[in-house]
Structure 1
Amino acid sequence: MLGPVQPTPYDLTFSLLGIPVRVMVTFWLGAAVLGWNSMQLGLPYLLTWIVVAFVSILVHEMGHALTARLLGYPPRIMMYHFGGLALYEPHRNYTVGKSVLITLAGPFAGFALYGLIRLSLPVLVNSGVIGGGLNPATFAVSQLLFINLWWGVLNLLPVLPLDGGQICRDVCITLSPRRGTTIAIQIGMVAAGLVAFYFFQQQRTYAAILFAFLGIQNFQELQQRRYG
C-alpha cells in the first residue's frame, strides 16, 4: 500500500510455494520504526518484533497471492517500508467476484494464523515454550496474535488503499460504474476521519496519524478526480 519504491541490488529475494518474493531493504527499516517501542524491553525484543512483522505481512500477502494463482493470475510479492503488495495482472475473465475473493484472502490468511496460534497455546504453555514471565518467545506469540487479528480487522475498514477500501470500490463500481470510485473515495474519507478521531481519543497516536494520513490521501485523490 501507499506506493512502492524501486528495487535495489540489496533486496532479499526468494521463492515461497512457487511465488517470487522480494523484500526491499526499506522493509526492515519500516518494521524497526513501527516496533521501536519494543526496544524499551531490549534489543532481542525489537528483533523479535521485526521477525513477527515479517512473518505476519508475508502470510497476509501469500493469502492474496495463492488465491490469485488459484484463479489463474500468476502473482509476485513485494515487501517494502509501508507493508506488502501481492502483484498480478487481472486478465482472462477477471470479475468483481474474483477481485473481492483475492482481496479477502489476505486478511483471512492472517485470521487463520491467529486461530492456529490460539489453538496451539495449551501446547506452547505445557511445553514451556511460553509462560513463566516475559521473554522473547512469549512476546513473539503475543504480538503474532495481536497483529494477525487487529491488523486484519483494521485492514478491512472501507478506506482506500486498504483491502476493505478496495472491496468497497469494487462494490461501488458494480452498483454505479460511472461514480463508483468517487463514492468509494468519499466513504474512505469519512471512515478514515472517524477512525483517526477514535484513536486520538484513545491516545493511540501512531494509528491515529496513519488513518489521518489515509483520509488526507483520499481527499487529495478526490480533488484530483474533480479538478484534474
Structure 2
Amino acid sequence: MLLVEPNRTPWDLNFSILGFPVRVHPLFWLMCLLMGRDYDAKGILIVTAVFFVSILVHELGHALMIRRFGREAHVVLYMMGGLAIEGSGNPYASSYNPRGERRTAQEQIYISLAGPAAGFILAALAVIFAKGIGGEVVQTWYYKIIPTFDIRVGPQISPQLAMVLDILLYVNIFWGVVNLLPVYPLDGGQVAMQLCMLQDPYGGLVRGLQLSIGAGIVAVIFFLAVMGQGGLFPAMLFGSLTVSNYMALQQIQGGGGGYR
C-alpha cells in the first residue's frame, strides 16, 4: 500500500511463490493481531490467514503484471499491507533491467490496477465456491454504497467457513474499492497521478497531488461520519496520506516546481 520497503530483520519469513521471492516482515503479524483484536484465539487465526492470503494475492497481481512487462519483482508483506517491488529483492544481485528503461505511464496504470483486480477475482471465486457447495449467498451493501455478498450459515456453510468467506470478501471488496480511491500512493492514486501527468506533463504532478488531497479529505469525513468508530483506522490512514501529499505539494510549489 505504501511505497517504502521496510528493512530486513532476522525474524523475516522468506519463501517463493510463482517464481517471486516473498518476504514477510514480523510487523505484518502484529497488524493481523490488531485487525483480529475483537475475536477469540480461533478468530484471530482466521483473520491472520485471510489477511495473509488476500494481501499476498493482491501483491502477486501487481508482480505478475510487472513480469508481463519484462521485469523482475519481489513481494514484501509488512505493517501497512504489502508491496510488489521491481527487482529480485536479493541485495547481492545485479539491479540490471533487461529492458534498460523506466516504466511508462501506461505500464504503471496496468500494474496498479492488477492488484485490486486480483483481489476482486479472489472474492468472486469465494462467492462461486459458496454457491457451488449449496450455501446461501445474499447480495448486500457495505455502508449502503459498496456492493458485496453476505455468506449465511446453514447446513452447507459452518459458522467458521462463513466467517472465513465474509472476512475474505470484506478485505478484497471493501478494501479493494478503498484502495482505488484517487489518493496517492494507493493504487487508485497511482492511476490518477499517471493520468494527470499524461494529460499535462508539466502541471500533472501538482494536479495529481491536489486531487489526492481533496479525495483524502472527503474519505476522512466519510469514514468518521458514516462508519463511526469502525472508521477510525481508515480515517487515520487517509488523514496521514492527505498530510503527506499536502507536504509534498508545498515542497514542489515552494521549490518552484509545477504550476502554482
Task: Please report the TM-score for the alignment, with normalisation by the length of structure 1.
Answer: 0.91
Give the drift of 1:32: 1.4
Give the counterpart letter for 2:233 in structure 1: Y
Give the drift of 1:137: 2.3
Give the counterpart letter for 1:81 in structure 2: M
Among residues 226, 237, 245, which one is paired with 1:218 in the alignment?
Answer: 245
Distance 1:7 1:31, change over 3 A: same
Distance 1:215 1:134, change over 3 A: farther
Q: Does 1:113 align with 2:122?
A: yes
Partner Cα separation in structure 2 for residue 13 and residue 117 of structure 1: 27
Give the counterpart letter for 1:152 in structure 2: G
Give the drift of 1:123: 3.1
Partner Cα separation in structure 1 for residue 134 and residue 215 of structure 2: 39
Output aligned runs, 1:182-193, within 5 Å.
Answer: 182-193=206-217
Give the counterpart letter for 1:227 in structure 2: G
Output aligned runs, 1:1-228, within 5 Å.
Answer: 1-2=1-2, 3-37=4-38, 39=39, 42-88=40-86, 92=100, 94-125=103-134, 131-132=153-154, 135-202=159-226, 203=228, 204-227=231-254
Which of the two has higher C-alpha Rg?
2
Structure 1: 5+ residue stretches without partners: none
Give the drift of 1:134: 6.8
Deviation string, structure 1 residues 164-211 (Cα, Å, up to 9, x no partner): 000111111111112211111110100010011011111122222221
Deviation string, structure 1 residues 108-166 (Cα, Å, up to 9, x no partner): 0000011111111123455xxx8348733221110001111111111111000100000
Q: Which has the higher strand share?
A: 2
Q: Which has the higher helix share?
A: 1
The answer as to whether partners of 2:182 and 2:212 remain within 8 angstroms in 1 is yes
The answer as to whether partners of 1:57 and 1:84 remain within 8 angstroms in 2 is yes
Partner Cα separation in structure 2 for residue 44 and residue 140 of structure 1: 11
The answer as to whether partners of 1:25 and 1:80 remain within 8 angstroms in 2 is yes
Partner Cα separation in structure 1 for residue 52 and residue 113 of structure 2: 20
Give the counterpart letter for 2:104 in structure 1: T
Partner Cα separation in structure 2 for residue 134 and residue 211 of structure 1: 36
Give the counterpart letter for 1:8 in structure 2: T
Give the drift of 1:34: 2.6
Give the counterpart letter for 1:46 in structure 2: I
Distance 1:99 1:70, change over 3 A: same
**Number of residues paired by the alignment?**
222
Give the counterpart letter for 2:59 in structure 1: E
Partner Cα separation in structure 2 for residue 20 and residue 181 of structure 1: 32
Give the counterpart letter for 1:131 in structure 2: V
The answer as to whether partners of 2:112 and 2:191 remain within 8 angstroms in 1 is yes
Give the counterpart letter for 2:130 in structure 1: L
Q: In the alignment, which residue of structure 1 is the partner of 2:139?
A: none
